[in-house]
Structures are given as C-alpha cells and as structure tokens.
C-alpha cells in the first residue's frame, strides 16, 4: 500500500489513521479513498486488531475519518500533538482513531437486559425496543453494553 512520496523523504507523515476492529469492507474503503485523493502513504503497520496508516495530509486524514463514520458508523476520535516549528508556525501531527462496531443497522441486539433493533449507526447509535417500540440513543462510550444477538 505504500506509495512514492514526491517532494518529501520516504518516512514523512503528518497524520496517522488508526483502524481498529473494522470489517474488511471498511479497510478497503479507506485504502480506496487514500488512493482516490492521491494521499501519500509513508507506511502501513499491521496490528493484531487493525492497521495504522501513516499519511501525508492532516486535513484529508481528518475528512476521511468523518466520511468513514458517516458511511459505516463507529467510534471516531481525533488528537493532535505538536511535532515542531516550521517557518515560525507550529506544526502538528494528527491521529485519527476509527473503531468499528460489531453490529449494523437492522441487527437484533441486547441492551440493558432487553432486545432492541439497531435503527441507525452514525455519530451515535439509535436502538428501538422490540416489545415496547421505545427508542434509545446510545453514545459510543456506552457501546460495550450492547451485545449482538445471533
């Protein structure tokens, strides 16, 4: 997946896209988008539960994280750290974490001891109780309380 960097040294990167616990479909989408916008990849590091892409553009990496969350749902977190100073301005490296969810729209799940249907997975998770029809809004911080039913 590594592509040739034109005016930068081979290890140059401004951003890290971390994909964790994602389906192959999500990973393929990310790789296709990286190629589509012609973003240079310094390296890709395979991990037990995902992959880290070291990319050449902060803003494109952040935009890709947002598009992935809108398209697939999932937890997204961004952080930035000061990398150095270039021409009297501070330069930051950005890390975008995207963590997939183990369920999708229409799946039957258990939450708070009751059965729910997943109605939407985007910036947050929206569930509807199977028995009462009550709708529930769940943030990704509470995602671990949701269990997919077979």
Q: What is the mean pLDDT of residues 47-54?
A: 94
* CB under 8 A, 24+ apart: contacts of 24-28: 25/72, 26/68, 26/72, 26/74, 26/98, 26/100, 27/51
Q: Which of 1-10, 13-22, 48-57, 107-116 has the lowest mean pLDDT?
A: 1-10
Q: Which of 7-11, 69-73, 90-94 has the lowest mean pLDDT?
A: 7-11
Share of the chain above pLDDT 70, in %: 94
**Helices H, strands E: what count in the chain?**
2, 10
Give which of 68, 131, 80, 75 is closest to 101, Cα–Cα. 75
What pLDDT shows up at residue 10?
A: 72
Cα–Cα dist 63/100, whole Å: 17
Q: Using an 8 Å Cβ cutoff, are 143 and 125 in contact? A: yes
The residues pairing with 52 across neighbouring beta strands, listed in sequence order, are 18, 45
What pLDDT shows up at residue 121?
A: 85
pLDDT band at 3 (very low <50, low <70, confident <90, very high): very low
Would you say the C-alpha torsion 32, 62, 27, 101 has a positive or negative sign?
negative
What pLDDT shows up at residue 8?
A: 61
Q: Each residue of 112-143: pLDDT tens digit? A: 899 999 998 877 899 999 999 999 999 888 88
Q: Each residue of 81-91: pLDDT tens digit? A: 888 888 888 88
- Say how far residue 87 (Cα) sits from the centre of its chain: 32
Would you say the C-alpha torsion 3, 57, 55, 90 has a positive or negative sign?
positive
Contacting residues for 54 by C-beta, under 8 A, at least 6 apart: 11, 13, 15, 16, 41, 42, 43, 44, 45
Residue-averaged pLDDT of the chain:
87
What pLDDT shows up at residue 30?
A: 95
What pLDDT shows up at residue 128?
A: 93
């Amino acid at each position: 997946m590594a592509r040739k960097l034109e005016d930068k040294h081979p290890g140059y990167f401004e951003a890290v896209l971390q994909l964790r616990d994602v389906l192959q479909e999500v990973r393929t989408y990310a790789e296709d988008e990286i190629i589509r916008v012609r973003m240079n990849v310094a390296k890709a590091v395979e991990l037990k539960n995902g992959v880290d892409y070291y990319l050449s553009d902060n803003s494109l990496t952040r935009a890709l994280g947002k598009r992935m969350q809108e398209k697939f749902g999932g937890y997204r977190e961004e952080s930035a750290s000061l990398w150095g100073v270039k021409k009297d301005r501070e330069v930051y490296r950005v890390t975008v974490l995207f963590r997939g969810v183990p369920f999708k729209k229409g799946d039957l799940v258990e939450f708070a001891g009751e059965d729910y249907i997943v109605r939407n997975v985007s910036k947050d998770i929206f569930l509807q109780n199977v028995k009462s029809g009550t709708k529930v809004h769940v943030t990704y911080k509470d995602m671990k309380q949701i269990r997919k039913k077979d």
